[in-house]
Amino acid sequence: MVHGHRNLEHRGRKAAPARLMRVFPGFMSFAMLGGLTLNLSTCCEKDFCSNLRTIEGYIAKGYAQCCQKPAAQQDACFDALDQKTDKSYELIVAAKTACESGDDDLAKDLMNRLRDIWLPTPKPSASGHIENELVALGRQDWLDLDVTLPRGSGAGQPVSIALVNDQYMNPEATGIASEDGLEGSGASEVPAVIIPASGAQPFLAWSYEIPTGTQFNMRYGDELSGLSLTGSIAVVQTATTPASGSATVGVPTGMHWRISYMGQVLDLDLDKTSPYNSLTLDSNGDGTLGVALKLTSNSHYLVGLVHVGSTLYFTFPIHMSAGWADMRIHSDPSLPGDSITPTDLIALDGADLPYTLTALPTDRCSDNDGNGIRDGADEVNNAMRTAAGCSAQH
């Protein structure tokens, strides 16, 4: 394995390419396709590097977890991590080949298998904030969007809402709420209460429509301008706007956005099984729309991305007008992308920080360059980036 050998001090830097060929079975065939250094001139190659960046985040997080285990358990942990990394690299290489040959169904299947290896889902951090395990927008990325969505003129739509330990959510989310401990435990456990849409006093969902002709710009590795956006958001108000401070006052009950750019189409739909869909406002009506969105696409240059088919957690800055007559979503390039898709810090560092080691590490759990990533993970990630010709910076 790239990092797994216990005698790192006996290995020379010149041996790194040979180790990669031995470690990653798909590497030799990939190198034969385009050489060790790629000319990133196609969308397929850019997707390849984006997918590679994603597993680099998992490798960094995996190293941190293995290094925290007792010494007697570390070797088994690293061996399991090696196997997942090797298989992931093979799948990413195969997805690039499928993309170049126009086999979209195969590319989708390969990305589904890659997600199955890591099972990425948005989860609460130790501080209670919801974070993605799957790296999406990084610190250098941004979203430039300013759109005001008027509330529909019709009546609100009655919907069923669940109440779990004083937290409102979509009924579909009660299962994950239980798994994540939101229902409490032992004597404090409280079963979910469902307020049905057919009841005497149901909650009403109001729809907010994106105006026709809305466009936005963003940076995701490259800067993209003039992306078209259509769709709507449905929200239930569960509490009044606070007189001071901030509070959760609503639950998104539906959301469908469609992004179109140069013939490629990406759909984002609310994942109702997430208990973390919420609307938080302060006394001025400013706040955050937190939504778990599943990304889907049948477009050729998108189906090979690991993000497509995954659920990502977004936090959009919003302003709700008086009486909730309209909702403004506003983000500009001054707001780092990881504020829009909050991500586990170790995974984000592993995906986006440069490799700065000047020598091969003798201790895979050390951090000699002080970048917050274990040296063993730095070595693995740099070896893959170098071999694939992908930039160390997203």
pTM: 0.79
Q: Is residue 84 part of a domain?
A: yes
Query: What's the rounded Cα separation, in Å, for the pair 35 and 41?
Result: 14
Domain boundary among 303, 324, 340: 340
Which distant-in-sequence residues (6+ apart) come within 8 Å of 72 by Cβ?
Answer: none
Question: In terms of domains, do 324 and 361 share one?
Answer: no
Closest by CA to 213, choosing from 151, 265, 147, is 147
Do residues 289 and 316 touch, judged by C-beta distance below 8 A? yes
In this structure, what are the phi and psi dihedrals at residue 141, rounded to the nearest 5 degrees? -85, 165
Q: Is residue 128 part of a domain?
A: no
pLDDT of residue 189: 54
Question: In terms of domains, do 325 and 227 share one?
Answer: yes
pLDDT band at 113 (very low <50, low <70, confident <90, very high): confident
Question: In terms of domains, do 82 and 207 share one?
Answer: no
Q: Is residue 393 part of a domain?
A: no
Question: In terms of domains, do 358 and 255 share one?
Answer: no
Q: What does DSSP say about strands 311-320 and 286-296: parallel, antiparallel, or unpaired?
A: antiparallel
pLDDT band at 130 (very low <50, low <70, confident <90, very high): very high
Looking at the 3D structure of the chain, how many domains does it have? 2
Q: How far apart are the first and last CA of the chain?
A: 25
Closest by CA to 336, choosing from 219, 215, 214, 216, is 219
Tell whether the model's pLDDT for residue 254 goes beyond 80.
yes
Other CB atoms within a 10 A radius of the CB of residue 336 amount to 14
Question: In terms of domains, do 55 and 198 share one?
Answer: no
Q: Is 230 left (phi over 0), alpha (psi -120 to 50) or beta?
A: beta
Question: In terms of domains, do 45 and 157 share one?
Answer: no
Q: Is residue 1 part of a domain?
A: no
Closest by CA to 30, choosing from 116, 95, 119, is 95
Tell whether the model's pLDDT for residue 26 goes beyond 70.
no
DSSP state of 272: T
Question: In terms of domains, do 269 and 283 share one?
Answer: yes
Q: Is residue 112 part of a domain?
A: yes
Question: In terms of domains, do 86 and 36 share one?
Answer: yes
Question: In terms of domains, do 258 and 155 share one?
Answer: yes
Domain extent at residue 310? 136-340
Question: In terms of domains, do 153 and 92 share one?
Answer: no
Question: In terms of domains, do 290 and 359 share one?
Answer: no
pLDDT of residue 37: 32
Q: What is the mean pLDDT of residues 84-101?
A: 87
Structural tokens at position 122: 């948005």
Q: Is residue 349 part of a domain?
A: yes
Question: In terms of domains, do 87 and 217 share one?
Answer: no
